[in-house]
């Protein structure tokens, strides 16, 4: 948030690509420009990605006919309502206050939220920013680090040892939930009708982390190869808070990136490809290290998110049953070898009970979100869809 620094120009990409051992990235990853906070924008990129890859109800507004666009020029600026709603914006009624009216004053405002100052009810959460605590000046103690969140900022409750936290729900001493980015994106996804899980973890090169702990470059490769872009949280390691505008101990300076690819050169250099939350284009990359990335800050930690498949529709036509589901459907472009790899495959399973060990496969591994199978309408059965490997052969196919 302290300026734009381009790390990795097109010429650098071209020269490295020529000697890359592996150079890959997830296709159709949005690249939106900054609005109402870097993590608002970055989570917008993340959920825009999933809107295009198997979960179309993340964005349902009028912009781009309801499909999250890949960028946010003036003609597509309505996509910003995905993470920050506003009265009269992107099809929202003019008399319905949203995120902007309730929480936003100006960048780095440390004052109370407008809805409290105006003594009116707070709107019900209906955008990503609402769920991750973005811009909401409500909490005096965020993990013992700072107060927040001032305008433009959000927070993560890290495990300081460097161990991974999965599906962690932060709470205060009175067991009141405090939303943060990892828990918030899961709750946003659930609000849209989808299951998912999240994790947070400090990087292995973070000076806070105990030796042997922390998120590694190999971990990042596994996320990308599995079809999951992930958020990078930039912050100076030794600055947990700051004093600004007369307020003491509030959110430190941070920035957000979305990692969606990587490459390794044949001489061992390890690079991350990312979206910079400023609409910076396709040439942004950085070595996996503890130096400053964007905005003169290193990567303190990462936030991962894994959507899960869910059956959404069934239709019986004579002796045929069609099941439809929504689930991850990412593709990985291998620039080194010039091919696209489909990353998410599914198998439909059937049982006569809900016992976990009673299901048997009734489909091959498929890279689709629907399947039609023979079915006797007089029969009673339970179906589920699970993730599979592309070469997996089910034991039984009806």
Q: Where is pLDDT greater, at 151 or 9?
A: 151
DSSP 177: B
Report the number of distinct structural domains present in the chain. Answer: 2
The predicted structure's pLDDT at residue 304:
98
If asked whether residues 325 and 294 sit together in one domain, one would say: no
Give the structural domain span for 338: 310-388
Mean pLDDT of 203-221: 95
Residue 354 in tokens: 């809900």
If asked whether residues 14 and 161 sit together in one domain, one would say: yes
If asked whether residues 255 and 281 sit together in one domain, one would say: yes
pLDDT in tens, 159-199: 999 999 999 999 998 899 999 999 999 999 999 999 999 99
pLDDT in tens, 75-126: 999 999 999 999 999 999 999 999 999 999 999 999 999 999 999 999 999 9
CATH no. for residue 371?
2.60.40.10
Nearest by Cα to 308 from 231, 234, 228 = 228
If asked whether residues 298 and 316 sit together in one domain, one would say: no
Alpha-helical (H) ranges within 98-231 are 99-103, 114-117, 128-132, 181-191, 217-225
Mean pLDDT of 150-159: 98
* Cis peptide bond upstream of 36, omega within 30: no
Query: Does any domain span residue 358?
Result: yes
pLDDT in tens, 22-36: 999 999 999 999 999
At residue 398, does pLDDT exceed 60? Answer: no
CA distance 286 to 155: 23
Domain boundary among 254, 283, 307: 307
Query: Does any domain span residue 395?
Result: no
CA distance 147 to 247: 9
* Residue in the block written with tokens 């808070």: 241
If asked whether residues 183 and 83 sit together in one domain, one would say: yes
pLDDT in tens, 323-358: 999 999 999 999 989 999 999 999 999 999 888 889
If asked whether residues 294 and 338 sit together in one domain, one would say: no
If asked whether residues 190 and 330 sit together in one domain, one would say: no
If asked whether residues 232 and 351 sit together in one domain, one would say: no
Is the C-alpha dihedral spanning 281, 224, 216, 269 positive or negative? negative
Domain boundary among 279, 307, 335: 307
Query: Does any domain span residue 130?
Result: yes
The predicted structure's pLDDT at residue 392:
62
How would you list the strands of the sheet with 345-351, edge to edge?
360-361, 345-351, 382-388
User: Helix or strand or coil: residue 64?
Assistant: helix
If asked whether residues 139 and 212 sit together in one domain, one would say: yes
Output the pTM of the full model.
Answer: 0.92
If asked whether residues 318 and 280 sit together in one domain, one would say: no
């Amino acid at each position: 948030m302290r300026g734009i620094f381009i790390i990795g120009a097109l010429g650098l990409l071209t020269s490295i690509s020529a000697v890359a051992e592996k150079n890959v990235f997830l296709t159709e990853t949005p690249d939106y420009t900054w609005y109402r906070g870097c993590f608002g924008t970055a989570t917008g990129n993340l959920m825009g990605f999933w809107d295009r890859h198997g979960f179309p109800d993340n964005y349902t507004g009028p912009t781009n006919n309801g499909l999250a666009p890949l960028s946010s020029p003036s003609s597509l600026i309505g996509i910003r309502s995905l993470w920050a709603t506003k009265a009269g914006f992107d099809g929202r009624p003019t008399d319905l206050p949203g995120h902007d009216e309730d929480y936003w004053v100006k960048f780095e405002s440390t004052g109370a939220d407008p809805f409290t100052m105006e003594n009116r009810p707070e709107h019900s959460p209906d955008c990503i920013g609402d769920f991750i605590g973005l811009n909401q000046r409500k909490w005096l103690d965020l993990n013992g680090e700072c107060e927040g969140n001032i305008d433009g900022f959000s927070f993560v409750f890290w495990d300081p040892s460097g161990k991974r936290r999965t599906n962690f729900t932060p709470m205060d001493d009175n067991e009141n939930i405090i939303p943060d980015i990892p828990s918030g994106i899961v709750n946003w996804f659930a609000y849209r009708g989808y299951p998912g899980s999240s994790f947070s973890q400090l990087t292995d090169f973070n000076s806070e982390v105990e030796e042997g702990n922390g998120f590694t470059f190999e971990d990042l490769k596994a996320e990308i190869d599995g079809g999951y872009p992930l958020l990078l949280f930039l912050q100076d390691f030794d600055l947990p808070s700051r004093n600004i505008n007369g307020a003491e101990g509030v959110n430190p300076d941070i920035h957000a990136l979305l990692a969606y690819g990587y490459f390794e050169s044949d001489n061992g250099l390890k690079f991350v490809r990312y979206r910079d939350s400023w609409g910076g284009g396709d040439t942004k990359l950085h070595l996996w290290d503890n130096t400053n990335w964007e905005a003169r800050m290193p990567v303190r930690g990462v936030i991962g998110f894994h959507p899960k498949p869910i059956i959404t529709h069934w239709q019986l036509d004579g002796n045929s049953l069609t099941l439809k589901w929504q689930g991850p459907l990412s593709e990985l472009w291998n620039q080194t070898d010039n091919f696209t790899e489909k990353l998410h495959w599914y198998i439909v399973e059937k049982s006569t009970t809900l016992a976990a060990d009673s299901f048997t496969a009734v489909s091959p591994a498929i890279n689709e979100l629907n399947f039609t199978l023979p079915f006797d309408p007089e029969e009673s059965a339970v179906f589920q869809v699970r993730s599979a490997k592309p070469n997996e052969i089910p034991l039984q196919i009806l």
